[in-house]
C-alpha cells in the first residue's frame, strides 16, 4: 500500500464508518495520546521499565499503526499530500545532513 492509498483508505473509512473527522485540535490531542501509548510500550520493551502483570507487551505494531492513523487523519483534514511532503522532507534531510552524520564521532 502506498502512502496515498493509505490516505484514501482512511478518508473512505471516516466517511462510511466514522461519520466525520474529529476536529483538527481533537485529532492533535489524540495523536499526542497515541504517541504516549507507543512510548509506554517502548519504555517497557526496550527501556528499563517492566510490563505490569496486567499488560501484554505485544502491542508495538498496533501502537505505531494508531499513531500513523491519526497522522493520516490530520494530513487529510489539512490538505497535506503525505507522499509529496515525505519526499520533500527526505530531500531536505539528504541535502542538510549529507556529511553531518558521517562526521559525527559519536556515531562511530
- DSSP assignment, residue 23? P
pLDDT(89) > 90: yes
Query: What is the model's pLDDT at position 44?
Result: 93
Count of C-beta atoms within a 10 Å radius of residue 27: 20
pLDDT digits 0-9 by tens, 44-64: 999 998 888 888 777 999 999
Provide the pLDDT confidence category of residue 102 given band limits of 50, 70 and 90.
confident
8 A C-beta contact, residue 87 and residue 21: no
Domain ranges of the chain: 3-81
pLDDT tens-digit readout, 13-30:
999 999 999 999 999 999
Pick the CATH number of 3-81 from 1.10.287.1080, 3.10.20.810, 3.40.50.10860, 1.10.3720.10: 1.10.287.1080
Residue among 40, 16, 35 at smallest CA distance from 74:
35
Mean pLDDT confidence for 63-78:
98
d(CA 46, CA 61): 14
Amino acid at each position: 500500500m502506498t502512502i496515498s492509498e493509505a490516505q484514501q483508505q482512511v478518508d473512505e473509512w471516516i466517511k462510511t464508518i466514522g461519520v466525520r473527522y474529529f476536529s483538527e485540535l481533537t485529532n492533535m490531542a489524540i495523536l499526542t495520546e497515541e504517541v504516549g501509548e507507543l512510548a509506554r510500550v517502548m519504555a517497557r520493551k526496550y527501556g528499563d521499565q517492566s510490563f505490569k502483570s496486567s499488560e501484554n507487551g505485544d502491542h508495538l505494531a498496533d501502537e505505531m499503526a494508531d499513531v500513523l492513523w491519526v497522522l493520516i487523519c490530520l494530513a487529510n483534514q489539512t490538505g497535506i499530500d503525505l507522499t509529496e511532503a515525505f519526499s520533500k522532507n527526505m530531500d531536505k534531510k539528504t541535502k542538510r545532513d549529507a556529511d553531518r552524520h558521517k562526521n559525527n564521532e559519536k556515531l562511530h
